[in-house]
Structures are given as C-alpha cells and as structure tokens.
Amino acid sequence: MREVHVDDVIQKISQMCIDCNYNIGRDIKEALVKAEISEVSPIGKSIIGDLLLNSQIAGDQQMPICQDTGMVVVFVEIGQEVHIVGGLLEDAIQRGIREGYEKGYLRKSVVSDPLIRKNSKDNTPGVVYYDIVEGGKLKISLAAKGFGSENMSKLKMLKPSDGIEGVEAFVLSVVEEAGPNPCPPIVVGVGIGGTVDKAAQIAKKALFRNIDESSPIPYVADLETRLLEKINQLGIGPQGLGGVNTALGVNIELFPTHIAGLPVVVNINCHASRHAVAYL
Amino acid sequence: MALKKIQTPLTDESVLDLKAGDRVELSGTIFTARDAAHQRLIETIRKGEDLPFELNGSIIYYSGSSPAAPGKVIGACGPTTSYRMDEMTLPLLELGLKGMIGKGERSQEVINAMQTHKAVYFAAIGGAGALIARAVKKNDVIAYDDLGAEAIRKLEVEGFKAIVVIDAHGNNLYETEPSKYKTTT
Ligand code: SF4
C-alpha cells in the first residue's frame, strides 16, 4: 500500500486550476501559430494574432486567458495499491477547486441548482469521475471547461447502418450549427459508442488529449484527420467571421456498444482548451 | 475596412455611420450585463421601476469578468455568447439601447429591431479576455452585486477594439463572410 495524503491532493488540484487557466497549452499555441500563417481571411488572421497576443499577456501577467474560467471536470485514476489518508478524496478535490479559484482570482461560474440558479460563489462542485486502475499512483486529469463551447455540444443516437459516414455528417452539422458561438478556432471531442452517458463521458475525455496526438487506432486517426479537413472547409473561420481555420483539432474516443445502437456525442471546446495532468 | 474611433454615448447618426466590417475603437462608458442581469432589467421594466443606468444611447457589453487581482483594474473580460440575451434585448432596444458588444449570431427579431430602433452589434474576440482587459481603465459594480460574476458593471474604456458585425442597415458579417471561404457543397 502506498499512502497519499489528501492535503497533497488539495494543493495539487488548486495549482492545476490556476495553471491551466493562466497558461495556454503548448499544443494549442503551436496550432495557433500555424493557423495564423495558413489563414487566408484578413480578419481571421488578425483575430488569431490577437489570440496569440492574449495568451502571451495572460502568461506574462499570470491572469486568466479567458474570463470564463470554466466548470472543473476531473478524471481521477486511482491505483489499487493507493491508500488515501487524512480525509475523503472527493472532499479534497472540491476543496482544491475552491482554493484554486479563490487564490487565482478565477471566476466563480457554478450555480448550486440548475433551476434555482444561485451562484455557489466558490466554483464548486466540479464534476469528478473515478477509475480504479492497476498500480500505486494517483493520476489526476483536470480541465476547466468553458460553457460557450459546452452549450454547442450535441448527442445523437445514430442507427448502426449510418456508420462512419453518418458520424462524419453529424459532427459536421454540429460544428456548422455552432458557427461563431464557441469562439472558433475550436477543438472537437467526439465520443462514439457505449451508452448515452458513456458516449458523453468519452467525448469529454477526448478533449483531455493534446491535439497533436492522434488516436492509437489507425482508422480512427484517419477519421480525425479527415474530419479536421472537412470542418476547415466549412468556411466558418476564426470567431465565425470567415476563414480556413475553424478547428485546431479533432479527437475521437471509442467504446464498445450495443448491436442496436451507435451513440455519438460531439463535445466542443474552444481554443482556450484548458487541461492539465498530474501524478501523486 | 475602416478603423473608426467611437465615443459613447451613441447617437442615431453615429450608429447609422457604422457598417458591418468596420473595426472600431470604443472610448467612454459601457455597461456589462449578461443572463441574470438581463432578467432583472426586464423585470424592472415590467414593474415600471427605474433602471440602474441610463439606457438611452448606451452600450451593453455581454460579459462577466473574472475578479481583479490586487493592483489590477479588472480580470479577464472578454465577451460571452449573445444569443442567450436575444429575447430580452427587444425591450431594451425599444428604450434606446444603441449598441451591444458580444460574440455570435443574433435572432432575426433582434436584427429587425436594430434596424427599426437604429442600433449596432459589435463583436469582441471571444477568449481574448486578458488582451481586452488592457482597454478597461475603471470598473465599478453599479447593480445586482449579489449576482457575483453577473453583476452590472460600469466600465470606463479607452480604445476598446471591436468589429461591427451586424449594422443598423441589416448587414451581417456572420452571413456574408463564411460563405466566401466555404469549399464544400
Ligand atoms: S467559449 Fe471558450 S474562449 Fe469562448 S468565452 Fe467561453 S471559455 Fe472563453
């Protein structure tokens, strides 16, 4: 048994919330630099230039890239050999979020009840998923998910016979309908298979992968490349004002499914794609 | 594409002079209001009570900034998506709202009302909140403090960069621009 103290979890989560909100990911930055060069629309080009300048300012001044500092989503992988001491893991995660959002001057964007809509004033709760895995480590993957892009996400229960073409058509229609709203250039996470909930969960998980890493499954990697090309032919462009850079990346995750179904979830993320990984 | 320097408050003439595609630098006073603040404004109008700021000639910025760190005027303060405010915008346009800053498309009803009441819709760059913050010189909560990030703030801005995306003549960049770059059928 390896012991992990909740204090370390609190500290790590708090730090990750702040870091990912202040510092743009290397993968996104590289993609924006390329997009600035390839963009043919003059407005689009200047917008991407401003996004790069924005990330520079945020990093230098240690302030958030975007004011929507998101709702926190955490995937925790707990090695079977790990023993959590000092308190409850769930409490530690929520406390880490609370401390990070306070200390980092991040916006508190969570309402405690979706209908009564009273702000919880500390950005909790975050959404937390747990997986028990082999080994003696605790892996924490954390994202601060903005809702301009979350709101443009969609689910569809396709027919098995719709196949890959059906998936492609659905993804393209979701991106087209989203238009300027999710602050393009965007990152597109696609979850295919499982059940309604599983498809949504793996679509979210897809957004945790860096955009310069392809799916390990060759035909899925091809689909990612093809979809990215087709999305960028839609013309939406930076901020929806026209151009050839609508998406920076497409990440797809699969899960086995039922003989009668083909669930697909498209989870959209913006260029402010904030995620981080840590091991304890 | 012209660069125009605009001073608030806006007038019918200054609005009619703006064309979709113009880049502007706004200076003066703008008011932030997003979802919950709009609901309260509408409620106030319905009850016939006084609004927390002079709507006539004003610009509303759809934005909920992040908290200001010590020594800073404001945190990140980019735009939020505008369509959620569409239905609540019509009564405000009737009362003289002249400009809106946000991101994303507007409903046909809003676009029509913008022509009737002479108003303009600007886009600021979504996700450029740290950059936009440099244009904000003063920041005060003037209403609905209990709404936290959604309170109404009075911002004094200088050279706030935006693009006219829908003008008072019905021109809409979101309609005209993407089709120029579309290469699929
Ligand atoms: S969609 Fe993303 S970049 Fe745009 S405002 Fe929301 S969090 Fe910021």
pLDDT digits (tens, 9 = 90+) for B46-71: 999 999 999 999 999 999 999 999 99
Number of domains in chain B: 1
Alpha-carbon torsion angle A226, A232, A233, A236, nearest 10: 150
**CATH number where B147 lies:** 3.20.130.10
B76 touches chain A (CB under 8 A): yes
Residue range A148-273, CATH number: 3.30.1330
Domain that holds residue B80: 3-174
In a domain, B184, yes or no: no
In a domain, B138, yes or no: yes
In a domain, B167, yes or no: yes
A52, A110, A183, A239, best to mutate for ligand 1 pocket (most atoms within 8 Å of CB) = A183
A84 touches chain B (CB under 8 A): no
ipTM of the complex: 0.94
Name the minimum distance, in Å, from the CA of A184 to any CA of chain B.
8
A274, A70 contact by CB (below 8 A) = yes
Using DSSP's 3-state secondary structure scheme, residue B134 falls into: helix
Kindly give the number of the ligand 1 atom that is closest to the alpha carbon of A67: 8
Q: Which residue has the tokens 């707990």?
A: A78
In a domain, B180, yes or no: no
pLDDT above 80 (res A143): yes
Token pair belonging to A2: 């390896």
Kindly state the DSSP code that residue B172 receives in the 8-state scheme: B
- What residues have CB less than 8 Å from A192, skipping those under 6 apart? A167, A199, A202, A252, A253, A254, A255, A262, A263, A264
Q: Using 50, 70 and 90 to split pLDDT, how confident is the model at B184?
A: confident
Given this model, what pLDDT does residue A238 score? Answer: 98
pLDDT above 80 (res B129): yes
H or E element that contains A2: strand A2-5
In a domain, B183, yes or no: no
Task: Give nearest CA residue, ligand 1 atom 8.
Answer: B127
